[in-house]
A and B are shown apart, each in its own frame.
Chain A
């Protein structure tokens, strides 16, 4: 059973691609993945993001789970499960780290107790939420069987009993100078309560809560250890059973549950990320992903990495449309016009769609890719113009040699290290090869004539940001000054006219 894959995960799916793909930096997918996985380092979720899916059913499998997560009961259940498992791991860490064997036993018991509660709660909540996706239905089925299993029941019942017995070991300690006596508690009255009672008649309003030194955590010191040993003598059998419990259940966590923990975190991570878009009023949709190259229709898409650098209100959404023979978008226009972001966005939407994720767009209809190739001018490559041009041509040659009709190619600002005439000529030849190849391409250039090469190319012109977003500006218009109009309009601007004041004071209508 796996949430991430419709069949048992093949080892190939993740382990082969633990390295970040080289184009991640160019299209800022590294930032997207960084934002999605922030705070979840312990799950090593990156590897899932580095492995786009290769089949339609696999994409559908994940999309169905994401749709289930939109039901608050389901995402909450998985979130609580993740928090619970985190607690369980912390208890386990303490159990291994502390020196005193009785403390190790007790933290182990604590971990098992919380584990039992966490699993039971997830099972109940998931079954009650009746998920629609195959992944979560299989998970619910597994959990029901597991919770009913003899070993799980015996373990949690034993844990509950031990916790109760240990809590009942109440004792009193008498301290006089350096002498410490430990004995059983025999119902002696609470003295602090009596003090509060004595002074109760002075009680006024709320007063300072009085915080004291934090209780220590971690290892017991030698005084605490001696007190504990005397307490253990009050009820030796309980402590013996505690040690046995630790030995019997040392290896209690099934691999399936551990995997469920990690895999649900992958969904939650991306789900939380999408919730941030939704909260900011930005679009999100489930893309259709065709198996073979075909039309590309992406409406109202934005690059999610922009959320790190600007307020959501300033983020501009863009469209992509490739129909019939078209497969190359040639992007030209002024600098600072968002051309690079646009080119990146094309790859990002395709990539996220092929991970089985919802994408940042109003609507998206794309097809699967086999590889993504990017060519972005990089600071570290800036050197001698000739060697730079050479490096650039080498890189393009490699791309053209490796890319297939199913690939996506993103080329940004090529040939800026040569003359306009040479650049135009080189660009024309590269575009011709890309046309022949048939790969989906976004080609960003400052030479707009390259956009008119063939019916495979589509021109996209960047408009100034202010035109796109309709940035408002205050207009200063000189008008003949009319005193009364000025005073009255000033008063009106302050809301100081009869109707407005009457409305504001809510008095009876006159």
Chain B
């Protein structure tokens, strides 16, 4: 009996460790606003959202499985919400029944489990009622499968049998146990046994009269130790039954927990959808199996995190990359380069979570893992360790990468001068691309970008024009790298000067050393 809303063949494990490198992704792609929109801060939803977004699916079939289920949920949220609430509250009530049960006594465990199971059975009845009422609403394999499971496994005959078993477990007619002589003749292997059904149930007197009894004794009412010993003896016999029932309770709880978590995934997606819908187009993407294609087409792709932060629709860009093994973004400062990089990264994560993406259309290959390497503001003052720091982060990424992985690099190799940075960077990027790793790179290093362009002439090069350029602000167009980052207009605007010649620019006001060495600045 399985939920299987999120995976066709297994449960969502909300406790699974997140893949290596998820912390920088959260920071670099600015995921917290998305998490907030998905979960409203609720703990389980948050875990589910993180698990889903940060553990990319690699199988296009599972992505489409979720896409279909999500479509169902968008059209019919009520049963999904009902299952979520019922499973959450039902599990909580059963857990309360066993709370504070730290005993290892079999009889206590047995009785608490019996009460908990009683509550769980009524929750299961309600879950099935929802399935009965909404079975016609669903088209997806995921939700049709769940309704079918609930109706098939929780039929009336079975639920009546469970009620019956819970009554028997009260042992109102005493308990019959078999035993062997174990080590040192101590009773061992005590096991509760079923008396063959008789006309009036079990009774000690009847047993003595009718069966071949060796004898009997009665523990004296004032023999406290004797009663305790007898209880212990009986408890050893109840262990198997208590374990079976307690584990059954755990299994039902696990089922409810899976149902709660997996409905939470679609409810979180629904919240995100409604939060993003005002700011731009949302669509289900078309994933290509890993390695099957090297092209990427995005129409009007936008950065959902920026939209949520600004509460405004951000600029959307088109990316048409026939060869998406390498995507290099160069050009003006404040030209929307990082925003596009984030939009691409977030879309990749959302697509491989099986969800909608912020674009009018997206066709992209599936990657084996997403890694981000963004420049770190907080490292700026560690002059000496800066290059070391960024290289060690990059090394860690390489150590965890596999072919068909995706590296989103934002201004790497810039903590040294341009020629050094370009020299290192060329070797690293070429090695990644040649190993089948997809690289999406924002760089100010002209030497690096132009060297990559001559090595990979079919790769995609986008350039951000100046904010006051003809295409408008934050719009990126295909274009070869240029040895300027349009820093001069920015400098002039900030300093209100006509010409940089009279007052040479100070380095720290330029995000890149490139601008300083640029002869065209004159």
Assembly CA distance A25 to B371 (angstroms): 62
Report chain B residues within 8 Å CB of A510. Answer: 434
CB-CB < 8 A to A175: which residues of B?
174-175, 177, 230, 233-234
* A487–B424 CB distance below 8 A: yes
Report the separation of the CA atoms of residues A128 and B188 in the bound assembly, to the nearest whole angstrom: 38
**Chain A residue contacts of B193, Cβ below 8 A:** 172, 188-191
One digit per residue, 1 when the CB lies within 8 angstroms of any chain B CB and 0 when it does not, for chain A 202-237 equals 111101111111011100111110111011011000
Asked if A488 is at the interface of the complex by the 8 Å CB criterion, the answer is: yes
Query: How far apart are B146's CB and chain A's nearest CB, in angstroms?
Result: 15
CA distance A499 to B427 in the complex (A): 9
Q: Which of the 9-residue segments A42-50, A100-108, A308-316 touches chain B?
A: A100-108
Residue pair B162, A198 in contact (C-beta under 8 Å): yes
CB contacts (< 8 Å) of B177 on chain A: these are 172-175
Q: Does A505 contact B (CB under 8 A)?
A: yes
Most chain A CB within a 10 A radius of its CB, from B194, B247, B387, B428? B247
- Point out the residues of chain B lying under 8 angstroms from A401, CB to CB: none
Cross-chain contact of B245 among A169, A199, A213, A491 (Cβ < 8 A): A199
Contact yes or no, A221 B225, CB < 8 A: yes
At the interface, yes or no: B176 with Cβ under 8 Å from chain A?
A: yes
A221→B229 contact, CB < 8 A: yes
Most chain A beta-carbon contacts within 10 A, residue among B179, B392, B421: B179
Residue on A nearest B247 in the bound complex, by CB: A207
Name the residue of chain B whose CB is nearest to the CB of A229.
Answer: B215
CB neighbors of A among B206-258 (8 A): 207-208, 211-221, 225-227, 229-230, 232-237, 239-248, 250-252, 254-255, 258
Least CB distance, B396 to chain A, in whole angstroms: 9
B27 proximity list for chain A (CB < 8 A) = none
When the two chains form their complex, are residues B229 and A212 in contact, meaning their CB atoms are under 8 A apart?
A: no
Cα A192 to Cα B192 in complex, Å, equals 6
Question: Of B56-64, B412-420, B486-494, which stretch is located at the interface?
Answer: B412-420
Chain A min CB distance to B468 (Å): 36
Q: Does B520 contact A (CB under 8 A)?
A: no
A 164-199 binary contact with B (CB < 8 Å = 1; else 0)? 001101111111111111111110111111111011
In the assembled complex, the CB of B31 is this many whole angstroms from the nearest CB of chain A, namely 27
The segment from B101-109, B263-271, B306-314 found at the interface with A is B101-109
- Residue B286, interface by CB 8 Å: no
- Majority DSSP secondary structure for residues of A touching B: mixed
Within 8 A of A (CB), among B428-473: 428, 430-432, 434-437
Most central of A110, A179, A487 by chain B CB within 10 Å:
A487
Given known pairs A204-B251, A231-B181, the reply for A174 and B221 (CB within 8 Å) is no
The one of A209, A223, A488 in contact with B233, judged by C-beta atoms closer than 8 angstroms, is: A223
Q: How far is the CA of A128 from the CA of B417 in the complex (A)?
A: 74
Q: Which residues of the partner chain A approach B361 to less than 8 Å between Cβ atoms?
A: none
A504 at the interface (CB under 8 A from B): yes
Chain A nearest CB, measured from B3 CB (Å): 9
Of residues 174 through 193 on chain B, the ones whose CB sits less than 8 Å from some CB of chain A are 174-181, 183-188, 190-193
The residue among B196, B208, B391 with the most chain A CB atoms within 10 A of its own CB is B391
Q: Contacts A189-B194, A191-B194; is A498 near B430 (CB within 8 Å)?
A: yes
Kindly state the separation between the CA atoms of A129 and B56 in the bound complex, as whole angstroms: 57
Cβ < 8 Å to A, chain B residues 256-284: 258
Within the complex, which residue of B175, B192, B230 is in contact with A223, where a contact is CB–CB below 8 Å?
B230
Within 8 A of B (CB), among A123-164: none
Flag whether A201 is at the interface (Cβ < 8 A). yes
Q: Known contacts being A216-B232, A496-B395, is A188 close to B194, with CB within 8 Å?
A: yes
Contact of B235 among A107, A178, A212 (CB under 8 A): A212
**Distance of A107 Cα from B202 Cα, bound (Å):** 37
Query: A107's closest neighbor in chain B, by CB?
Result: B184
Assess the A199–B251 pair: CB atoms within 8 A: yes
CB-defined contacts of A21 to chain B, threshold 8 Å: none
* Interface status of A382 (Cβ within 8 A of chain B): no
Our pick among B2, B219, B246, B387 for the contact of A180 (Cβ within 8 Å) is: B219
B residues less than 8 Å from A94 (CB atoms)? 184
Beta-carbon contact of A172 and B178 below 8 Å: yes
Q: Is the CB of A502 within 8 A of B254?
A: no
Of B330-338, B397-405, B475-483, the segment with at least 4 beta carbons within 8 Å of chain A is B397-405
State the interface size on chain A (CB cutoff 8 A). Answer: 87
Interface string of A467-508 (1 = CB under 8 A from B): 000000000000000011001101100111111111011111
Q: Is the CB of A222 within 8 A of B388?
A: no
Are B246 and A210 in contact (CB-based, < 8 A)?
yes
A171 with B175, Cβ < 8 A, contacts A215-B236, A501-B435 known: no
Whole-angstrom distance from the CB of B30 to the nearest CB of chain A? 27
Do B436 and A507 touch across chains, with their CB atoms under 8 A apart?
Answer: yes
Given contacts A202-B251, A204-B258, A222-B226, contact A171 B178 (CB under 8 A): yes
Given contacts A173-B177, A173-B179, A199-B248, contact A488 B417 (CB under 8 A): no
* CA of A199 to CA of B399, assembled, Å: 46
In this assembly, does B165 line the interface, its C-beta being within 8 Å of a C-beta of chain A? Answer: yes
Contacting pair B165 A488 (CB below 8 A): no
Known: A177-B174, A182-B214, A192-B241. A498 touches B247 (CB 8 A): no
8 Å CB contact of A204 from B196, B239, B254: B254
Interface-central residue, A106, A175, A203, A209, by most chain B CB under 10 Å: A175
Is residue B497 contacting chain A, with contact meaning CB distance below 8 A?
Answer: no
B11 interface residue, CB < 8 Å from A?
A: yes
List B contacts of A64 (CB < 8 A): none
User: Is the CB–CB distance between A179 and B398 below 8 Å?
Assistant: no
Contacts of B401 in A (CB 8 A): 505
**Which B residues are in CB contact (< 8 Å) with A190?**
191-194, 240
C-alpha gap A78/B255 in the complex (Å): 52
Cα distance A265–B430 when bound, in Å? 65
Confirm or deny: B292 has a beta carbon within 8 angstroms of a beta carbon on chain A: no
Q: Which residues in window 14-30 of B have CB below 8 A to A?
A: none
Q: How far is the CA of A217 from the CA of B185 in the complex (A)?
A: 11
Q: Are A498 and B226 in contact (CB under 8 A)?
A: no
Residues in chain A near residue B394, CB distance under 8 A:
494, 496
**List of B residues within 8 angstroms of A210 by Cβ:** 109, 239, 242-243, 246-247
Indicate if A317 sits at the interface (CB-CB under 8 A): no
- A228 to B400, alpha carbons, bound, how many Å? 64
Contact A211–B104 (Cβ < 8 Å): yes
B191 to chain A: closest residue by CB: A190
Task: From the candidates A202, A220, A496, name the one contacting B1 in the complex (CB within 8 A).
Answer: A202
For residue B243, which residues in chain A have a CB less than 8 angstroms away from its CB? 192, 209-210, 212
CA gap between A217 and B188 in the complex, in Å: 12
Q: How near does chain A come to B218, taking the closest CB pair, in angstroms?
A: 5
Residue of A nearest to B419 (CB): A484
A-chain residues with CB within 8 Å of residue B207 when the two chains form the complex: 174, 181, 183
Q: How far is the CA of A177 from the CA of B180 in the complex (A)?
A: 22
Min CB distance B448 to A, Å, is 13
Residue of A179, A484, A499 with highest tally of chain B CB at under 10 A: A179
A244 to B254, CA, bound (A): 56
- With A177-B174, A213-B104, A494-B391 as known contacts, state yes or no: A182 contacts B428, CB within 8 Å: no
| B213 touching A182, Cβ below 8 Å | yes
Q: Nearest residue in A to B190 (C-beta to C-beta)? A: A173
Beyond A178-B230, A495-B395, 15 additional contacts (C-beta under 8 Å) are A167-B180, A172-B179, A174-B176, A178-B221, A188-B196, A190-B192, A210-B246, A212-B109, A215-B188, A215-B236, A217-B183, A223-B219, A223-B229, A228-B187, A504-B398
9 contacts between A and B (CB under 8 A): A106-B184, A173-B178, A179-B204, A183-B214, A216-B232, A223-B230, A224-B233, A488-B420, A502-B434
Enumerate the 7 nearest inter-chain pairs by beta-carbon distance, A residue then B residue, closest first. A176-B174, A507-B435, A192-B240, A199-B248, A501-B431, A188-B193, A505-B435
